[in-house]
Homo-oligomer: A and B are copies of this chain.
Amino acid sequence: MNKNYIIPNEWSIVEEGFDKKNVEASESLFSIGNGSMGQRANFEEDYSGDTFQGSYIGGIYYPDKTRVGWWKNGYPEYFAKVLNAPNWIGIHIQINNTKLDLNTCEVSDFKRELNMKEGWLSRSFKAKLQTGEEIQVSTKRFISVKYNEVGAIKYNIKALNFSGDIIFSPYIDAGIENEDSNYNEYFWKTLKILEGTNEGSILAKTLKTEFNVGTAMKVDFAVNNNIIETTQQNIIAEKSLTYTYKINVQEGDTATIYKYGSYVSSLNYENEELIEASLKNVQEAKELGFEYLLEAQIKSWEEIWKTADIIIEGDVKAQQGIRFNIFQLNQTYMGTDARLNIGPKGFTGEKYGGSTYWDTEAYCIPFYMATKDASVAKNLLIYRYNQLDKAIENAEKLGFKNGAALYPMVTMNGEECHNEWEITFEEIHRNGAMVYGIYNYVNYTQDFEYVSQYGLEVMIAIARFWHQRANFSKIKNKFVILGVTGPNEYENNVNNNFYTNYLAKWCIEYAVDCLNKVKHNYPEDFKRIVAKTNLSGEETYKWLKVAEHMYFPYSEENNVYLQQDGFLDKEIIPVDELPKSERPINQKWSWDRILRSCYIKQADVLQGMFFFEDKFSSEELERHFDFYEPLTVHESSLSPCVHSILAASIDRMPKAYEQYLRTARLDLDDYNCEVHEGCHITSMAGTWMSIVQGFGGMRVWENGKLTFNPQIPKEWKSYSFTINFRGNIIKVYKSQTECKFYNESGNEIKMMVHDTEISIPSKQLVTV
């Protein structure tokens, strides 16, 4: 496909001109969603060219049988697939009996816009059919944030050079498949199809998981903006429902179909209510009307942008890139439902299947915490709290005892469900990210009550895991953690991964700290938790032994912690010296060669130093950055942001900016030639962090203090961002010459800026 075809624009993603090679990439980039459901930007009308159809409902998944060479104990039974859900957007269109299909007709003046400010997708084009009819089409579509089970489409066709029939055949279809099914199985079963006048609904259930979903549509027609009545003809197939309407138009007339769609699922309703609920949704939507719903949509997004927007002056592409990232993150997860989470591809594709990775704790929580109300980040933590029992079960399956928990690498319902076991099953560092997420949340919000109510149980179970997972090495006279994979997935089954060992030690120590705090400040909770978990002082003493005597591989010669035992046995050649023809190594090298090479897929030691920056001196950070950065190939979308933030923190803005560029427009410019599969949603939070934590230098430390250290890339005129800090809105502005803070809240706010404490009164602007 083409690259860089997206037109720069501050608030919109824009494509001009029709190029079939871009269809699948645009379907990803122009995706729309509302946190509860979402879809790729597939055309409403038929398209016979290459297309990747996708519509998704949060929390609805299918357990696809794992594909593996030889089964080994502890492997997950299934790979939870994000399910391609029934289609509600489809409208077959015929002009005088010729089907409209952009793959076969002459297309001109094609334009597609994803308006991120207002949250809608539009498309316009002229088409000349093989039979000579010319039409002007304009469509607008959105998935409502306010009415979050509803989507709406307005589809206009103007007859440019003919009088005759325009036939609209809107349909809903449950006979859909996943492209990435392991064994080409169907995932849905159609249970019931209900017809009606201009409305209808299909009840379908997912096989195995038995989620029931009602998918409804309701349609309405206008000619030249006057609502008209039309005759409906019904076509019911085994799995779909289609209504056909013939509208006679005169040359110059515009015929319009309004189509309202709704998904409702057994996550929120009884099965027998679903048909009715879905119909009620589309009936109400029709009552409110397209324009009213659109107004509500614009307001919803206005609200979201108030605290989420980042403004960059002097670089339109950077502005577009960062807004795209913020927009897609919000489309994926709104934070109102603790049963949902943030899938790596959001609602833009199927790849990476299962919904929740450690990306949520390591990358996404900071974004949601700073751009939304504290309840949103809390919901993400509660999601894991609710899955604690499953995490304990998961650890039991692997031989752990006594309430130890191992959170899954990938999950939908708390069970482990990854497809790629070789790489991921030893990535136990993920367990540490669960605790880090709590730590981060408590520092930021000062809501320690979360720990006493929920978090401590998670921490205890995870401390137990680390205690059991480490073993004592007589020869090292230390505790070691063998057979792990760190964040750097270009290593496998290594011993004493620094990041993992560090997290393990820290998790134990932080758990014991919190235990003591809860004991003193929340004695009732303490009693409850001790009873529930059967915890004894003797046990925590044993944990601490492990933490205290944890082993960390270290090179005296290089004065750095080593990524793992034996790292220095590798041939160390900086990435710069690799011929360009050999990169990306994951495409050019065999897997075994990658494994024994020194190249680092994504921040690993540096991920640890990023998490716990305050535990290391600047010199240590620099030394490790200088050792590991030249060996890092950044072949994970989660890597450059961490390097960017660290580079900024050690005053290396050119490096920070270089790394920022690798992450900011990853999808828009399709660096890795894979955007057609969907967008990299979770790494978008990393981009946000690169500006706020990287350039802005924002930190909230363990003592609860907020600090900033704003710097600006020389390529920009200015940037500004907004954060919600404990309910107080703070706006930060940084230009090449100025640094300003505006306190929008009713309270005075204290913070450190460039090592100086400042205090900003309510509604005041301070220039630093």
State the A residues within 8 Å of B (CB): 66-70, 72-75, 79, 183, 397-399, 418-423, 425-426, 471-476, 480, 482-483, 492-496, 555, 557, 565-566, 568-572, 586-593, 595-596
Do B482 and A596 touch (CB < 8 A)?
yes
Do B73 and A586 touch (CB < 8 A)?
yes
Complex: how many Å from CA A612 to CA B588? 38
Q: Which residues of B contact A568 (CB under 8 A)?
A: 473-475
Seed contacts A493-B494, A565-B569; 17 additional CB < 8 Å A-B pairs: A69-B418, A72-B590, A74-B592, A74-B593, A397-B590, A398-B592, A398-B593, A425-B592, A426-B592, A475-B568, A476-B569, A482-B570, A483-B595, A493-B493, A495-B566, A495-B569, A565-B566
Q: 10 A-B pairs, CB-CB below 8 angstroms? A: A66-B69, A69-B420, A73-B591, A74-B592, A75-B591, A398-B592, A421-B422, A475-B568, A483-B592, A492-B492
Complex: how many Å from CA A566 to CA B481? 12
Complex: how many Å from CA A483 to CA B569? 11
Do A399 and B67 touch (CB < 8 A)?
no
Complex: how many Å from CA A471 to CA B592? 14
Indicate the member of A74, A425, A482, A586 with the most B CB atoms within 10 Å.
A482
Do A587 and B69 touch (CB < 8 A)?
no
Q: Which residues of B contact A474 (CB under 8 A)?
A: 568, 572
Q: Which residues of B contact A555 (CB under 8 A)?
A: 475
Complex: how many Å from CA A557 to CA B593? 33
A569 touches which of B67, B421, B480, B592 (Cβ 8 Å): B480
Do A69 and B70 touch (CB < 8 A)?
no
Q: Which residues of B contact A593 (CB under 8 A)?
A: 74, 398-399
Q: Which residues of B contact A75 (CB under 8 A)?
A: 591
Q: Which residues of B contact A494 (CB under 8 A)?
A: 493
Q: Which residues of B contact A418 (CB under 8 A)?
A: 69
Complex: how many Å from CA A70 to CA B75? 15
Indicate the member of A66, A571, A592 with the most B CB atoms within 10 Å.
A592
Nearest B residue to A569, CB-CB: B473
Indicate the member of A418, A426, A590 with the most B CB atoms within 10 Å.
A590
A669 to chain B, nearest CB (A): 25
Q: Which residues of B contact A589 (CB under 8 A)?
A: 73, 399
Complex: how many Å from CA A495 to CA B591? 16
Do A483 and B68 touch (CB < 8 A)?
no
Nearest B residue to A399, CB-CB: B593
Do A471 and B591 touch (CB < 8 A)?
no
> How many copies of this chain?
2
Do B69 and A422 touch (CB < 8 A)?
yes
Nearest B residue to A469, CB-CB: B596
Do B68 and A69 touch (CB < 8 A)?
yes
Q: Which residues of B contact A426 (CB under 8 A)?
A: 592, 595
A508 to chain B, nearest CB (A): 19
Q: Which residues of B contact A70 (CB under 8 A)?
A: 419-420, 423
Complex: how many Å from CA A476 to CA B565? 13
Indicate the member of A72, A557, A568 with the most B CB atoms within 10 Å.
A72
Complex: how many Å from CA A72 to CA B588? 10
Complex: how many Å from CA A483 to CA B476? 22
A538 to chain B, nearest CB (A): 21
A594 to chain B, nearest CB (A): 8
Complex: how many Å from CA A624 to CA B557? 34
Q: Which residues of B contact A587 (CB under 8 A)?
A: 73
Nearest B residue to A423, CB-CB: B70
Do B67 and A591 touch (CB < 8 A)?
no
Complex: how many Å from CA A74 to CA B594? 11
Complex: how many Å from CA A418 to CA B70? 10
A493 touches which of B74, B398, B492 (Cβ 8 Å): B492
Nearest B residue to A75, CB-CB: B591
Complex: how many Å from CA A183 to CA B399? 32
Do B398 and A482 touch (CB < 8 A)?
no
A351 to chain B, nearest CB (A): 10
Nearest B residue to A473, CB-CB: B569
Nearest B residue to A184, CB-CB: B183
Complex: how many Å from CA A549 to CA B283? 80
Complex: how many Å from CA A565 to CA B495? 10
Q: Which residues of B contact A492 (CB under 8 A)?
A: 492-493
Do A73 and B590 touch (CB < 8 A)?
yes
Complex: how many Å from CA A473 to CA B565? 13
A589 to chain B, nearest CB (A): 6
Complex: how many Å from CA A66 to CA B182? 12
A90 to chain B, nearest CB (A): 31
Do B72 and A591 touch (CB < 8 A)?
yes
Nearest B residue to A476, CB-CB: B569
Do A596 and B483 touch (CB < 8 A)?
yes
Nearest B residue to A183, CB-CB: B183
Complex: how many Å from CA A82 to CA B177? 33
A706 to chain B, nearest CB (A): 41
A570 touches which of B66, B422, B471, B570 (Cβ 8 Å): B471
Q: Which residues of B contact A480 (CB under 8 A)?
A: 569
Q: Which residues of B contact A588 (CB under 8 A)?
A: 73
A472 to chain B, nearest CB (A): 7
Indicate the member of A568, A588, A591 with the most B CB atoms within 10 Å.
A591
Complex: how many Å from CA A571 to CA B479? 11
A81 to chain B, nearest CB (A): 13
A479 to chain B, nearest CB (A): 10
Complex: how many Å from CA A557 to CA B476? 13
A60 to chain B, nearest CB (A): 23
A537 to chain B, nearest CB (A): 25
Q: Which residues of B contact A595 (CB under 8 A)?
A: 426, 483, 493
Nearest B residue to A482, CB-CB: B596
A554 to chain B, nearest CB (A): 12
Complex: how many Å from CA A423 to CA B592? 12
Do A591 and B68 touch (CB < 8 A)?
no
Known: A398-B593, A492-B492, A592-B426. A419 touches B569 (CB 8 A): no
